[in-house]
Chain A
Amino acid sequence: MAKKKRLRLIAEMARKIRAYREMKSQPRESQKYDLDYETMRRPLTGKMLPVMAWQDVRKESRLFSLLAGMRLFGVGRLFTRKSWLQDHTEPSYWQITKVKVDYTAENMDHGKAWGILTYKGKKETEVKEMDKVMYHDWRLVPKHLEQQMKDFEPLPEPPVRYVPYPPLLRAMILAQRSKAGACVREEPTLPLTRNVLFNKDYFRQQDLERQRQEGTAV
């Protein structure tokens, strides 16, 4: 048996205090995301922004630069990103629900925001923290275009494509089927899906469908 550990309460307290102080002395948002527009460097770390972003940084604005000039800091308004506008045809936007501004910033130019995302027309249900708030990429959706964006109905997902298997795998599957005794004449096809959650419900559903197709044995 090891010797009983000495209860170092003061060391424990010191550790907690150090952790708290470290947490409190972290640089604020305004300091972290401050940018020198001439050299394109962040003064805090001295790192340079990537070259492809320089054009956008000069032309576009940060989310909070827009929010700073709006009533209620833009709570309830819709905001898109220029990259979304360029990349996708379906509208994607954030609807802002909550804003926490960094009061140490000069122009109230930095902070955190929360909202509901609608990505490519599909609206999510939960409020999430908005990421990439400090990117020079944001655009406000004017009020007369808001309804247009919200009205957009995303196209239904295209039906699952079925694709023949590669030849060796196909031969293996057919051999397995013949050994199991199921019908060999059907060509095995691979369904092209991206995200399927495999849990018990999935397999139960599969079993039910199979039973429905085959019919229960008499």
Chain B
Amino acid sequence: AKNYLSLGLHDEVEESDDVPFSGMKLKPYFHLKKSEVLDQVKKMGFASDYHPQQKDFEKYPLEDILLLFDPSRAYGEKIVWCTTEASYNHQMERLNGIRQAVLDEFEKENSPEAAAGEEAAVQDEPDVNVVVRDVPKECFEWKSETAENTHEEVRAFTVQNSRPLLQMMITRARGQFGKSTKFSDSGENNQNCRPQKDHNFAPPKRELEMGIQAVKETRTTSCQTTWFRPVNKSTQYTPSDFLQRGADLGYAKVDELSAFLSNVSVGVEEALQTNETVDIFQEEFSHLGEEEAGAITKTHSKLKEHPNFHDVTYTKGKRIEWVEWVPNSSEMVVSSCCENQPFTDRLENSGKASVSTVLVWSFADSLSPHAILESPWEVTVFKFYPSDPTYLIGGLANGQVAVWKLSTTDLGFATKSQNSRPGMEEEKHSTIPTVVHRQISMIDESHRKAVVAIEFMPATLEIERRGRGASEKNPADAPMKYFLTVAGDGQVMIWDFQAMLDAINDNDFLWRPVHRVQLQRQDSGTEMGLCHILHCHDRFDDKGTKLLTNFYATTEEGELILGDWAARGEEDRKADVVKKMYSSCKTFRPMQSLERSPFFPDILLGVTDWAFYLFKDGLSEHLFMSSYTSTYYTRGVWSPTRPSVIFLGLVSGGIDIWDFSDQSHKASLSDTGASVAITSMMFCYHGDIKEGQKLAVGDAQGHLHIQNIPKNLIKPGGREKENMRKFLDREEKRVRYFQERQQELRELKEQMEKAAMAQDETAKDKTEDLDKEDAIAEASYQKLEAEVKEQL
């Protein structure tokens, strides 16, 4: 490039605006002398620019070399020169032509100026002096450069029909619709046509445009509270956070502390001494407050369980059917165990002989029974003979009655002094004395179903005329002679115990009932199975004579009946033993318990599965019915000391205690007596029942629990008996009132019906009258109307 200056291609090396051909802007053409070129080549040799083309230079015919500056490199180089003459001429012509054109143009421009300058000198001035005038711009039509593009784009969004739409119609001959077609194999496509991938039609999706909106899972809610300040709910600390070891006795404080202690220690030591001398924990008030006939509080009222009798061999899995306390003893209990067998099993075993046991327990030994009474059948109920407690009468599951004679050892009376019987001790350790029954009733004459209740009749009673009547002949202190038994077969049998006693050692004695009565149902004629029986000792009829042959019994359908076994039948009717029937408690399930209140001899407690009833002798309806319970009752007993307390055993094993002085709509207290269903309950009437009462509770798994009754269930309130009596009287009044009221209502209803009947006849007349009235009214109205019209 530096050589350009020397070559004359441009005038100045550096680019500047003043010189048109400067820098890289080379002159378009330039002439060079051939001789100069050749000279230069010779001088400089390889360094010369013209060396590579030296040969061409020598060939060149003309003298002038034309260098062309070719910025567009049409010939391949920036600077080219014409090598041949023809091209030289051609180029010169071209150049000259261009030159000429430029000159012409220049002259043309100048000449009109010169020409015009002569004509109008005035007009030159405005051209020479440019004056800027503020003229509002003229508005032209708006031309947009991109508008056309935009229109194209918009048009591209919609699809326009490039051709008219075609319509096609495909028809089928109507006759061919619905015709059955027959398809046959076509021989053409024997080969399977497999799907083939044609890449033209399955473009893989590389990019997908999709819009998604994400919704927050969180929600903001707020609520309002009236609390306004933070409260310290809990704190956790260790003592070392607070105990500053530095706060320990500083030596400065010793004096203060000793002064303080000397002041204070006097009083403290006094107090300490008084505490040592007087018993500070003695409760002064513990003996007060027992007279309140108030509510049973929970603190004192747990039934405390004393020993629990259970023997693996004899009682495991069995049901304690009946429990009795040994008379004259509060330490011995007798229980009978029956198998927990459903009916089908019993049926199977009914013909087989087995040995069943009645166990005598002593409190001294709760693991093994004191004595065992064996019986051929299960003992469902038993009672001690009141006049001589060595005899035990038991009713068996097959209907017979058996008697055992117990020795005094069995009854535990002689065991107090064990030392005096060293010999017996060894025996006791090894075997438990067993007693076999002495007498048993005749099987043909006995009940057909299990004996369920035994009741002794007062000693004064004497049955005569073959059971048709009874009279009070015997002296009051004679031994009891007769007892009643009932069973599910509906028979009430009277047995003579005395006769049996006389012949107890006689093996051929056939023990027969003295009298028997069959109870039957009125409606169905079937036998009325009985569950309990209570003899009415003191009932008087209208004339004042004592009724000796009445009894209360409960049936297997839950009713309570009052019966008379000495009832005499009419000529055509059978003896109606059942005098009265209380069917208000009919539950179609056997009555569970029937007990007479120890305080009110005319009040009976009847316990059914889900309610218990209080009956009064003489009322045809029950006095009181408890609310229905969710756990079924199994037994019920009156409390022996408190007139208004009833203990009920439940299916769950609990004991519900109802206290009528507290509340009569639900149990006052509920306690657990056993863990399985309670099957028998019996209070111990011996001993000081005001001090420590015991209740024997037998359950369905063979456990015999002895519960100690807490004090507040033993001690009656001050006016408890009166309150209870008032309650019962109130209930009686209510019952009577209801009955009267019902009677009244019935009568009223009858009257109304009669009146209604009478009214029916007059009703027809009435309607006729009404019609007549209507007609009259209508006529009068018409008249009125006519009058008015006339007036108008």
Q: Is the A/B pair a real complex?
A: no
Residues of B within 8 A of A (CB): none
Residues of A within 8 A of B (CB): none
